[in-house]
Every structure is written in C-alpha cells, then in structure tokens.
Structure 1
C-alpha cells in the first residue's frame, strides 16, 4: 500500500485545483489548494506539506515559467529540503532540465495522465518522509552524543569506527542484537550505547550476568517469584524480564546458559510472557533483548550445547567487537583516558607516557583486552614516582614465546644500568653515597658509570 501524505497545490486556475483535489482526495492524507502563490510561506508554516505541486505560469505571462522558478526559489529558501513538483501546460525538455537544476524534484505536464501523476506523487511523498526521518534520527544522535550520561566508547581505529557506525545505524530498531567479542573488549559498554541509541533510550536497562548466577537461581532471577514459592520467598519479587518490560534486557555471557534454561528463555521470548515461580497467571512482557558472549555459539550449536532456535531468536543482528590487539593507536588513546581517570582518583599529576612506554604498550598482545589495559594503567599510576610513565612502570605478563618478562628494549644492559642509576639517584635525593649503597656498588664505581653513561 502506497504511503499517504499532505499535498499543497498552487495554481491560478480554479478548475485545475478542483479537478486535482477531487482526483487526489482518496489517495492522500490531506490536501490544501490555493490560487495565491503569495501565501506559500503561510501554508508551509501552518500546513507543513510533504509535497508541493506548483504551477509554473501565473499572471505575468502565459508560457515562460519564470514565475514558477521565482516561487521555487522562495520555497527552497524557507525549507531547502522541500519536495516541489512543477506543473505546466507548456513543457519542453529544456524547461524540465532547468527545473531539476533549480531544485525541483519532478515535472508534470498538463493535461496529466492519472497513473503517472499518482506514481510521481507517491514517490515524492516517500522521499519527503524519508528525509524527515533522516533529520529526526540525526537530531536524536546529536542529542545523545551531547548527553553527559552517555557511555564513552573510546577509539578511532577503522574497526571501532565501524562499530560506532553500526550502533548509530541501529538507533531506530527494536531488533534483538548479539554482541560477540573476547573477554574484556567492552561488550557491556557497547550494550549500554545500543540502549542509549534506541527508541528505548529513556526506558529501563536491566542486566543479568549469566556467568555469575548459579543455575538454580537463574529462573527466579529471570522470571521472579511469588511469596511462599520456596523456603526463603518471604515476599513476592518481579524478575529481571518483568523489570525490563518496555525497555532493554541485557543478558551477558549467554553462552553459559544451560539447555533447560535456554528452553525456558526461548519460550518466554516467543510467547512474550513469563510466569513467576509459584504463580499461575502469566505476566505479559515487552523487552528489547541484547545478548553478549565470548563463545562461538555456532560451534556450541554443532556440539549440542546451545539451541539453534534460540540462536536464531537472539542474533537478528550480530555486532563484533574487535580485540584490543587489532585496534592500533586506540591502545594509546585508552591508556591516556585511564591515566586521566586514575590521576583524579589517586590525586596524582602524571602528564603522560614517554615514547618507549608507548612502544611497549603497542607491542604487547593484550590477551585481557581493554580490561587488562585499565588494570595495568591503574597499577602504574599508583606505584609510579615519575611525572611521566616509563616502560618500567608497566610490568606486563610474559607472552607466549618469551623466555622472560622483558621486551627487546629491556634486554639492553646499558639502558637497564642507566635506568637503575637514575632511579637510585632520584630516590636518594642526589646523595651519591646512598645511591651507590642502593645499587650495591662502591661510590667510586658509581662515579665511573655516571661518566660512562654521560648522566
């Protein structure tokens, strides 16, 4: 069925207006007509038409069409995205081309053919509504970007730009979404952004970490219970699905769900209702479901440990979060972000990371992803005595293939000596005797090393 819209028709011939009004009334939402093009602004402000049908020739002359172009310019000055269709009994190719270049959407000749006229108007209405929807979404995105409570997804790498673009494209959908990614990549943060950029932005956001809830408690947590349903049920309690109704339910680590619980979740999603433990009457629910997992669910389906029908239900759209090792310079952006956070928390004034420290972070594989980086930065801020973080401030775990917890730069003995001496001198306040004692060498040996290293 074609979409109806509001049409404004401007023509100095009342017979034309009457005929068009009679013809279009069954097909359009509302129609306004006028013989006075001087009232264009009034109708645009009060009626807000989806499409304007504009005659090209009025009182100035009969065939040039210049008046039509003048009024088109006025319309576009009021609304540059207005959909205007020209009408004239004196059409030619040159005039049609000029009309399109001037900003008209289409061109109709008089007398018109009914089917062609309707097809042109339906297309124009669809275009108008599409433009308005795009504008609405852009306003929504701008408002949410300026929202101080919006979760911050840090990263400018191509992989993260794609994630952000996908989140924005999903801002007008209720589709169930499955977030895939390794542990520590920030799947919960992405889920919160999806909620903010959605029709349910102001509604409830309820989470369940399925990896931390014992199986025997899952049903009561998800569906709730009535007073007396079991020994400790001293009063009735709604479940997470009931609490999330009208909003968003986030099931983290859904790959940990047992097969019996998968069956109960699937039934609730299909019937859009739940029954509390100990209750008889069902409770209607309306939730937008976001799930996350680090598991390969297709493999689990093949193994028989995850229901294929549930996988179909939860992954209308899949969103892959890249591991930190694939995000390049995002590592440094995140490190600076965490540095600023922990500077404030621990009342420090560390200004940044030196080049060697940056290189060390970029070389590391980050098996724990963003969560690991966050913990490493917190530890460095707490323990560092420097105003700028250095490689020795980051004690990274040994990686596969490394014999010791050092990278190539740390294996350089001269650099190790230099750093040890500099640190000893800082900690001793410049007292050479104390610094030598801390280093386990004589004061004379310390002087020789300082001279050798040009310290």
Structure 2
C-alpha cells in the first residue's frame, strides 16, 4: 500500500489511541501515539508529522498550550484538536491559535478520516506554496551571479574551488554587493561542511550579548539568564557560521573567537563543558580590516585566520556593463511576481541607469525595479516610471563631476564629505531614517552603523 503520511495521536484514553492508530495504519499511514504532553513533545521533537490528533485534556498539561508548542516547532504540521469538553469557545480558541480543525467527542472513525484527508490536502498545498516561494527566492538571489564582468566570473570560479576545501573565508565589498548571497552560494556547493548555514549579524547585536549569542550560556550564568541557550557556534556544527559585518565584534570577544578557530572548541558562558567546534567560518565586512588592524580596532592574528581565502565583490559602478543584464533580470522576476506584462526598458531609462553610480549597488537596483514594477501600468519602462518610483535622476552637473574644479586649499576627507551630506539629508527629512536610507540608496542598518561610528544619536 502507498505511504500516505505520518500521524501522531495524542490522547489519554487508550481506546481512542488504539482505534485511530489501527484504522489509519490500515489506510496506509505511519502512526505514533502518546498519552501525555511530555511523551507527545518528545515524539514531535524527533519526527516530522503531517497531522496531529490532539486531545485538549491531558494528565500533565493543557492541550491548547501543547498546540502552541507544536506550532512553534513545525508550522507545516496540521493539528486537529479533539475533546469531550469542547464547545464553540474552545473550538474558536484552538482555530485562532493555529489548529486546522476541531472534533468533539464522541466522533466516528469516518469523521476522523474526513478531517485527516482535508488536513493532508492542506499540508500538501502549504508545502507547494512554500516550495514556490523558495523557488522565487532562489531566482531572486541568483542575480548576484548574473553578468559578464571578469571580476564576477572570477568570484564564481574561486567559489567552486573553495567548496572542496575546509579553509575559512573573508568576503569584502560595499553594502549591497551581495556578500551574504555569496556566502550562501559557497554553502550550497560545499562538499565538506554540508550542515546548517547559521548567520550572525554582528552589526545589530548589543555588545554585552555578543558572547552569549556566539557561545551560548547555561542557566544562571548572568543576571537574566533564566534558561540555558544554545549559541550560534553550536547550532552551526557540521556547517557554516556566517559572521556578517565581522568588523563590529568587540576586541575582547575577538580573542575568544580566535581561540575557537585555533583550538576547534569552546565553552558556553558560565560552563566548563568543552564542546568541539566542527565548522567553517565565513566572515564578511564592508570595512577595510587592514586599516582597522592599524587603528587597533581589529586583531591582526584574527584577521589572518579569517582571511585564508579572500573574495572581493566589486561595486556596481565598476561593472556597469552588467547593469542591463541585471535590470532585465529583476524586471522579469518582479513582473512575474506581481502578475504584470512588462517587457523592457526604454533606451532613455536604460541610459539613466548606465549614467548613475549606484551607491547601494545591486541591492539598490533590485529595490528600485521592484518599486517601478509595482507602480507601472505600461509594458515598457520609461523615464516617467523611474520618477514615479521616487528615483532621483542624476543631473548633468552631478554626472560630470570630473569636469568641476576643486579648490586645493579646501579639500575635505571623503568620510567627512559623506558625513556632512548624510546629516543634511537626515535634517531635510526630519530624521526619518527609513526614508533617508531609501533616498541615499543604502539599507537602514548601514545608515545606523555610520551614525554610531560618528557618535550621532537622534
């Protein structure tokens, strides 16, 4: 008989467990059963169930509480709540929490069968939608690797080679060039570390929580540690730990990370238990780490441990020949996503793209075209569509800055020019950081990091 799915029956009444298990096994399903909350959680944590029949009254806990825990562990599992004490309020509460259906005891075996078949169909549709979204996401992320520029082709060739080794990797490049996407691509191709891909955004973690985030902690390790927590290093066992914006890790933690790399082991905060660290580290940054080493902000020994293999992603302004390819790729992607029939760009619109410097790089181009497609009502994108999507078209003066004269006595450092301009933009927009980052063509995280670096708080 064809295998139809895996079911868990949770009920403290043995007759119900046995009758449902016997019937569904005959129908071709794999069935497990549990008589308590603890037993059910143990099973649910180990196996993936398509459908769960869950009694609301259990000897060691409330079924609605267990329903919440099930859905936290696996949103795709369909939960059918059963109870002899059911009423409309209980049914509504269960459905609001995420249950698929509600059966009130006594119910016939055929009522249970009908509910099961509907739940299996819902699970199938849920997975199909999930696979479709993942497929679209994969197509979106492939944009980084579209292009004929020799620099991008070299990156891909190096990625294929490094996937056969266990060396640590450092990826550099401006914000928006696709450092995280390259790390994921390397993970996809990795022949050694096939385990999970675990990302740590070093730019958004509160400094005092860095150590706990990376190494985990045991209960009572510090004030507020009411439960134990597994750190990202342990979660990445057998896979890749991606340290995004590595330049933001505090110096004291850099020493501990160096020890993990050298000794391949670590201890959670507040524990003497030694845990082996079997993983590859990929770090990324938009900072110049060599300069950070000179300034004393980054350990030289850690820099060389991470920089065994170096990838640099060029900014979009250095690979302008790829702009038409990328623009058309995103146009096709978002046209399908939003069910529109947009075919191409006008030559005027494409020339505007080619004469723009793209400070936000590929990410800025992607988000711009998404907005353009949302607002467009025609099948060809024109200059008007760019304006409608809030794209500030560069003036001729801005695009010919090389012809402007500069007073040699009043030359400012590039960072100071950037700082002054960003502050002017923020003031003009009443310190709306989300709008400012959009206008500047950078993400909000990058803007926040710059303000933090300049000690500007608002």
1:337 to 329, 339, 342: 329
Q: CA distance change for structure 1 residues 403 and 290 in 2, over 3 Å: closer, same or farther? A: closer
Query: Unaligned stretches of 5+ in structure 1?
Result: 1-145, 405-455
Aligned to 1:279: 271
Distance 2:394 2:166 in 1: 42
Correspondence list, 1:170-319, <5 A: 170-200=162-192, 202-319=194-311
The answer as to 2:166 corresponding to 1:166 is no
Distance (whole Å) between structure 2 residues aligned to residue 401 and residue 250 of structure 1: 42
Partner of 1:320: 312
2:356 to 364, 386, 393: 364
| Aligned mate of 1:397, from 375, 388, 392 | 392
1:154 and 2:149 aligned = no
Q: Is the 8 A contact 1:200 1:248 kept in 2?
A: no
2:164–2:192 contact (8 Å) kept in structure 1 = no
Q: Which secondary structure state, in structure 2, belongs to the residue aligned with residue 299 of structure 1?
A: helix
Q: Distance in 1 between matches of 2:258 and 2:183?
A: 20
In structure 1, the residue matched to 2:34 is: none
Aligned length: 259
In the alignment, the residues of structure 1 paired with residue 174 and residue 398 of structure 2 have an alpha-carbon distance, to the nearest angstrom, of: 26
State the structure with more CA Rg: 1
Deviations 1:339-360 (A, max 9, x none): 1222233222211112111111
Partner of 1:329, secondary structure, is: helix
- The alpha-carbon deviation at position 254 of structure 1 amounts to 0.5
Check whether the contact 2:352–2:393 (CA below 8 A) recurs between aligned residues.
no
- Measure, in 1, the Cα distance between the counterparts of 2:319 and 2:289: 24
1:383 aligned residue: 375
CA contact (8 A) 2:193 2:238 kept: no
The 5 A counterparts of 1:2-81 are: none
Which consecutive unaligned segments of at least 5 residues does structure 2 have?
Answer: 1-134, 400-458
Assess if the C-alpha contact under 8 Å between 2:165 and 2:192 holds in 1.
Answer: no
Given that 1:275 and 1:282 are in contact with CA atoms closer than 8 Å, whether structure 2 keeps it comes out as yes
Q: TM-score, normalised by structure 1?
A: 0.54
- 2:345 is paired with a residue whose SS is coil
> Scaled by the length of structure 2, what TM-score is found?
0.54
Q: What is the alpha-carbon distance in structure 2 between the residues aligned to residue 400 and residue 297 of structure 1?
A: 35
What's the CA shift for 1:288? 0.5
